[in-house]
Amino acid sequence: MKIAVYPGSFDPVTNGHLNIIERASRLFDQVIVCVMVNCEKKPLFSLEERKNQLRRVTRHLANVTVDAYDGLLAEYARERGCCTIVKGLRAGSDFEKEFQMAMVNRKLNPDLDSLFLTAEHQYMYLSSSAVKEMGYYGADLSDFLPSQIMDEFEERMKKIANMKEAQP
């Protein structure tokens, strides 16, 4: 059985992530989408919230499961019997960082390969950070965010805006 892990911050999951998950689910027997900690990012949603969001948006995919883990990806893959890491690759900027992570993960777990799926053209410049910035200023996010998480996302944005207003 070929099991792949698709790791990420997913803060929040975007339509670009969902597109990668759907394509990976056609390539592997099982895909584990794993919410992980990126030390360089301060997340808007907790690990548990992101896990629940991913569960809601992947409900239609029978061979996709969702998990969260706050350790090393290479260790997680070993524990779960995954031989492949799936990542999405967007225009230019992703390459250096992804290449480095793939090398590190392979050094830590030589049985592990990284497979990159190129982002669909409409998601080439989409990121969770851009979604958060657009959301903060009230832009229409219907092309970028799965409908199942829209209300939760908008609520959180309102909360943040209110907190900023309340600050002296």
Residues that bind ligand PNS (CB under 6 A): 7-9, 36-38, 41, 72-73, 101, 104-105
Cβ closest to ligand PNS, residue 106 vs residue 161: 106
In the sheet with 113-118, reading across from the earlier edge strand, the strands are 64-69, 30-36, 3-8, 84-89, 113-118
CB of 167 to ligand PNS, least distance (A): 27
Q: Which of these is catalytic: 55, 80, 90, 132?
A: 90
Euclidean distance between CA atoms 20 and 31, whole angstroms: 11
Cβ closest to ligand PNS, residue 101 vs residue 161: 101
CB of 15 to ligand PNS, least distance (A): 15
Given a contact cutoff of 8 angstroms between Cβ atoms, the answer to whether 41 and 11 are in contact is yes
Given a contact cutoff of 8 angstroms between Cβ atoms, the answer to whether 24 and 6 are in contact is yes
Angle formed at CA 127 by CA 125 and CA 128, multiple of 5 degrees: 160
CB of 7 to ligand PNS, least distance (A): 4
Tokens of residue 47, six digits: 């690990």
CB of 45 to ligand PNS, least distance (A): 13
**41 labelled catalytic:** yes
Given a contact cutoff of 8 angstroms between Cβ atoms, the answer to whether 18 and 60 are in contact is no
Cβ closest to ligand PNS, residue 7 vs residue 12: 7
Cβ closest to ligand PNS, residue 8 vs residue 146: 8
Give the catalytic positions in this structure: 17, 41, 90, 128
